[in-house]
Amino acid sequence: MATIHDVIEPTPARDPYVQGCPSRDVLDQIGSKWAVLVIGELGRHGACRFTQLRDQLSGVSEKMLTQTLRMLERDGMVLRTVYPDAPIRVEYQLTPLGQTLRSPLKALTDWSVQHIEDVLTARKQYQERATRPR
């Protein structure tokens, strides 16, 4: 319930262009390499186990995968469920908050696939401009 005391600490303006604003950190983390891929994978498959994710995100180390999952769990985007079987089973899935990230992040991965040839071409031309004129 809102009381008069709340006026003392109003919600600060949130702007990732301002140093120290937490929205900048969050922006950085949701755009990070493994977070983008983890969220994409959980978005497609609904719920995944640790090993599944590790195998799908080729090249990820267990350390980085653990770190990424913990961060996403802490930030409320991923739910971690432990089933105390033997051997233990753990499932990860997107929370409602995490679901809202699927669309913008998919747009980003789609962009990288759709425009990769343009980028590679641009790199070649940049290289030529740097070497050929002298």
Binding site for DNA (CB under 7 A): 32-34, 49-52, 59-64, 66-67, 69-70, 80, 87-92
Contact status, residue 39 vs residue 104, Cβ threshold 8 Å: no
Q: Is 82 in a helix, a strand, or coil?
A: strand
Cα gap 20→15, rounded to integer Å: 9
Neighbours of 65 (CB within 10 A): 18
Residue 69 binding: pick among its own copies, DNA, none (C-beta 5-8 Å cut-off by kind): DNA
Residue 124 binding: pick among DNA, its own copies, none (C-beta 5-8 Å cut-off by kind): none
Pairing of strands 47-49, 89-94: antiparallel
Residue 39 binding: pick among DNA, its own copies, none (C-beta 5-8 Å cut-off by kind): none
Residues that bind its own copies in the complex, under the rule CB under 8 A: 11, 14-20, 22-24, 26-28, 30-33, 36-37, 40-41, 56-59, 73-77, 97, 100-101, 103-105, 107-109, 111-113, 115-123, 125-126
